């Protein structure tokens, strides 16, 4: 390990300074390595593979603490590849406040339904369900599922339960 920062500085960055979870993990990796821990030990503690621990150490050795952190934030072209821009996300938010249209499947909104909505809006043949889940999260919605009900209960029992539940 190149000594870009002291072990104490790395520990401080890991424990107090880093807010981004990926950056925090990277600081933990280089801090533990700077303490003399082996790659395999660091891998066990952090949950990262030994190869990834070595890659993070290599980035730190090359660029210092500036080489750490989630580099996906600086992914060139990501905005151009996005399925929805800010205006379209607002449109999605408005759509999510209503029931899903019949052509996406009706019922309650889900990742696959949002994906179908995006595909139709953008004139695409198909959008994978995972992208629908990603956009639900991005606009701070969670997939909705109906509450379970006791199918064997009579209507009067269900109503009594609802009243007593409050």
Tens of pLDDT along 50-76? 999 999 999 999 998 888 888 776 777
Q: Which pairs with CB-CB distance under 8 Å and at least 24 residues apart come from 55-59?
A: 56/26, 56/29, 56/30, 57/1, 57/29, 57/30, 57/33
Q: What are the C-alpha distances in Å from 25 to residues 11, 31, 51, 127, 137?
A: 11, 10, 15, 32, 23
Asked if the model's pLDDT at residue 165 lies above 70, the reply is no
DSSP E strand stretches across the chain? none
Model confidence band, residue 112 (pLDDT cutoffs 50, 70, 90): very high
d(CA 134, CA 155): 38
**Average predicted confidence (pLDDT) for the chain:** 85
Tens of pLDDT along 5-54? 888 888 888 887 877 788 889 999 999 999 999 999 999 998 999 999 99
Q: Tell me, what's the pLDDT at 146? A: 67
Phi-psi region of 127 (alpha: psi -120 to 50; beta: other; left: phi over 0): beta
Neighbours of 97 (CB within 10 A): 8
């Amino acid at each position: 390990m190149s000594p870009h920062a002291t072990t104490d500085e790395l520990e401080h960055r890991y424990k107090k300074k880093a807010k981004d979870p990926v950056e925090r993990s990277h600081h933990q990796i280089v801090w533990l390595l700077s303490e003399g821990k082996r790659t395999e030990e660091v891998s066990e503690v952090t949950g990262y593979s030994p190869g990834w621990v070595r890659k993070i150490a290599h980035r730190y050795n090359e660029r210092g603490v500036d080489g750490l952190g989630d580099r996906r934030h600086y992914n060139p072209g990501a905005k151009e590849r996005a399925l929805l821009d800010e205006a379209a996300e607002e449109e999605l938010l408005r759509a999510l406040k209503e029931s899903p249209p019949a052509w996406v499947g009706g019922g309650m909104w889900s990742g696959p339904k949002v994906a179908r909505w995006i595909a139709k809006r953008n004139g695409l043949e198909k959008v994978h369900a995972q992208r629908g889940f990603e956009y639900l999260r991005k606009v701070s919605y969670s997939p909705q599922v109906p509450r379970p009900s006791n199918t064997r209960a009579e209507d009067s029992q269900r109503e009594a339960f609802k009243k007593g539940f409050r």
